[in-house]
Structure 1
């Protein structure tokens, strides 16, 4: 699990490595080891140790799929016409109870078609997975995470008072939080974020380091936000644009993990410190921590997407989301930097909506406002 400063990627073969993607940034855990009380600091150190063991175990794995079974390249973008014609719906959910232990996936509690389990966390994970699936299927013609009906495996109650949620290349898992720093991880933007890391993985991948890693995180944030807006019917001007809203503990001075509207303002707390995300390339953070600041510098492309949505109005899953999804399918560059990604979104906007379209012109303006000229 990506819980400490060193890379959690294991370069075990010729393909893009599939790291553990966690919602809580490593810099938060590092701060907790220094600023938290004795119990909190101890728990943070234990999670960092867990990460080290996970990296070692991960280095032995070489069989994780990067693309749908049998595919040699990422699936091509599915056009609106193809969506109307097309895909078979294969929603298949399985929610397990980890019983506060480390083993995954744990005890199966609710399978596809089962009624409510009586465990609020199980049922939240089950219902939220459908909301994420519905977005990708209805708006992008994508049948589950891999585009081919992959079972959506989730584990709740992972480990005891575990302060994180993650995608491990095959499934999602959610800790309960310690009730002090974090209250829960079962929040729709978090679940959408983690599942969207899987979408990136099965669309060719983005190396989880530096700017390509920040783009990986940003895509997950963008679609975590879109999932929440799609499920509630929120337009871009009514959304709060927060990732992880209400997962922070009751005594933490903050509203969320990240803000796409105003990167750097999500929290300011005596224990957690100040949200370090920049909104502009002038404030890009060069660091060896967090795989080169993947959870930090993602604020820049996040803010570009937010600005574009404000220019466009309406719903984020319409033209802005279509452009971002199309760009991911077309990118074919796992080491892409911010300028590569901005250029690809521009090409996608022009391909979808016209070279001289206002859609493309406004996108160029959004990138310029975060310091990226395309």
Structure 2
């Protein structure tokens, strides 16, 4: 399997969709991806000289397509007042909401690796239709205004990108089912960040990733839907949302890193069904079980969907017993074609 550049592995827009946009619109999308510039040791101290001991810093690329962070001015750092740039303030709010959620709900005091300063770059490149983590920082484009708007808006989008640096997620192989689980877990906790900030229950939440990301005129409501994978958009330019909602629709492909952004719809729906099955706030029961499994080390580096199904089922029964509440997870996974008690590891074949 050919090595995939880090930025391709973590972009929120699938490469196949970017290719489609290039074909349909003749848009000058840049595929000359920045490469990781440094190891963790350098990343941890990159901007401390200019912003002291701030836990995070937001840089302004001013539409440059460089990955050299030293070229960018500091737009706002932790603890500083609002600025006139709305994109900077939205990202700042997203970082604060993500850190607050992890701290108050899961008692995790850091987003990336412990002790590291978070760096987010806004206004990356010209009309850039994506956001990504390159191993050193999060880069967010402003969108072209015709298909996508700013990739810095939406609490769930900010959290999705920030969580790419979470050590437990960085360790997952970003291809096939393990890559789809990485995508799904980041989107899951991203939505929980939004729901926690808004005080929403599982019944009240919209369960949309990237609501507001599609530009006016594009036929769709979001980038992805947990409640109904495959229905987020249906547009002449974007095409139809390709996500399956059960294993019967599993997409076998070498594109999109083995279909990571497509097949993530299956575990996404399983989480939605579990959260609705428990009722109340999704972070209190389903979210806690998913987090417990993620941080337990039991997933390994190349888990399949059946592994997450089995481990979350086991965690639910350990917490709630074998009664109705303990069986909520089993019912959720069964509805997407992965009953935990009888799901061997398997990768569908063509």
TM-score normalised by the chain length of structure 2: 0.87
Query: Does structure 1 residue 50 correspond to structure 2 residue 32?
Result: yes
| More off after superposition, 137-146 vs 238-247 | 137-146
> Contact 2:60–2:121 at 8 Å: present in 1 too?
yes
Which of 8, 23, 35 aligns to 1:34? It is 23
Rounded Cα–Cα distance in structure 1 between residues aligned with 2:27 and 2:180: 28
> Contact 1:91–1:149 at 8 Å: present in 2 too?
no
Partner of 1:21: 10
Deviation at 1:332, TM superposition (A): 4.1
Rounded Cα–Cα distance in structure 2 between residues aligned with 1:7 and 1:231: 40
> Contact 2:169–2:182 at 8 Å: present in 1 too?
no
Partner of 2:161: 194
Rounded Cα–Cα distance in structure 2 between residues aligned with 1:185 and 1:143: 25
Deviation at 1:348, TM superposition (A): 2.1
> Contact 1:19–1:208 at 8 Å: present in 2 too?
no
Rounded Cα–Cα distance in structure 1 between residues aligned with 2:8 and 2:40: 10
Q: Structure 1's 247 and 218: CA in aligned 2 closer, same or farther, altered over 3 A?
A: same
Q: Structure 1's 297 and 203: CA in aligned 2 closer, same or farther, altered over 3 A?
A: closer
> Contact 2:9–2:174 at 8 Å: present in 1 too?
no
TM-score normalised by the chain length of structure 1: 0.82
Per-residue CA distance 1:113-157 (angstroms, 9 max, x = gap): 111111111111111100011011110111122352432211110
* Secondary structure, counterpart of 2:262 in structure 1: coil
Map of 1:1-374 to 2, 5 A cutoff?
9=4, 20-36=9-25, 41-43=26-28, 46-47=29-30, 49-51=31-33, 54=34, 57-58=35-36, 63-64=39-40, 92-104=55-67, 105=69, 106-146=72-112, 148-186=114-152, 187-199=154-166, 201-202=167-168, 205-330=171-296, 331-351=298-318, 353-374=319-340
* Secondary structure, counterpart of 1:359 in structure 2: coil
Q: Structure 1's 203 and 302: CA in aligned 2 closer, same or farther, altered over 3 A?
A: closer
> Contact 2:38–2:136 at 8 Å: present in 1 too?
no
Per-residue CA distance 1:32-75 (angstroms, 9 max, x = gap): 12222xxxx232xx32x323xx4xx45xx78358xx9xxxxxxx
> Contact 1:91–1:130 at 8 Å: present in 2 too?
no
> Contact 1:158–1:174 at 8 Å: present in 2 too?
yes
Rounded Cα–Cα distance in structure 1 between residues aligned with 2:145 and 2:131: 15
> Contact 1:20–1:169 at 8 Å: present in 2 too?
no
Aligned length: 325
> Contact 1:91–1:144 at 8 Å: present in 2 too?
no
Q: Structure 1's 182 and 203: CA in aligned 2 closer, same or farther, altered over 3 A?
A: closer
Rounded Cα–Cα distance in structure 2 between residues aligned with 1:128 and 1:160: 23
| More off after superposition, 363-372 vs 18-27 | 18-27
* Secondary structure, counterpart of 1:293 in structure 2: helix
Rounded Cα–Cα distance in structure 2 between residues aligned with 1:8 and 1:162: 24
* Secondary structure, counterpart of 1:34 in structure 2: helix
* Secondary structure, counterpart of 1:225 in structure 2: helix
> Contact 2:7–2:132 at 8 Å: present in 1 too?
no
For the aligned residue pairs, the C-alpha RMSD in angstroms reads: 2.2
Q: Structure 1's 318 and 149: CA in aligned 2 closer, same or farther, altered over 3 A?
A: farther
> Contact 1:18–1:64 at 8 Å: present in 2 too?
no
Deviation at 1:238, TM superposition (A): 0.6
